[in-house]
Amino acid sequence: MIRPMEISDLPTITHIFKQANPKTTAEAIHKYTLPVLQEFPQFCWIVVHSEGTKIVGGITGIIQKDRSAGYIMDIAVESSYHHQNFGHLLMARELKVFDEANVSSVELEIHYLNAKVIPFYYRYGFRLQKIKKDEYGSGQDAIEMNKTFKVN
């Protein structure tokens, strides 16, 4: 089941996002996720395991003020729930909401150490745009991907 993210979900979501990105801190994740949730709640979702109320993943996004483009800030599923379609449920919901908002494109960024997820994004029409050298410091690059929508 997918439902809107709530502020009370932040401790669990912070843990899941941290698990997916060990190069950051829980404090940093909480610091940027809270304002995203407060300003763009329509782009923040969690997925709950069907056998209960356990949150197993989440996605957060933002939209530019002129509504021309969206940006996926984070998407992660708890590692013990990988390969069970939870990530697909989250991505499908997020892209549907972006499409309904009539954005022309959606962008995301991947830490180079997590490049194994590129095929997941390819399934949703994202394509590689560029490599951002040393984006995270200490020689840590970022991979930028973009998906273009047909404008209504």
Name residues whose C-beta falls within 8 Å of residue 7's C-beta, 6 or more positions apart in sequence. 34, 37, 38
pLDDT at 5: 96
Least confident stretch, 6-20, 73-87, 107-121, 136-150: 136-150
Place of tokens 């998906």: 147
pLDDT at 3: 94
Residue 19: pLDDT band (50, 70, 90) is confident
Which pair of structure tokens corresponds to residue 97?
């909401």
Question: Residue 106, SS3?
Answer: strand
CB burial string 108-146: b at 16+ within 10 A, e below:
bebbeeeeebeeebeeeebeeeeeeeeebeeeeebbebb
pLDDT at 151: 59
Using one digit for the tens of pLDDT, what is the confidence trace for 90-127? 999 999 999 999 999 999 998 878 888 999 999 999 99
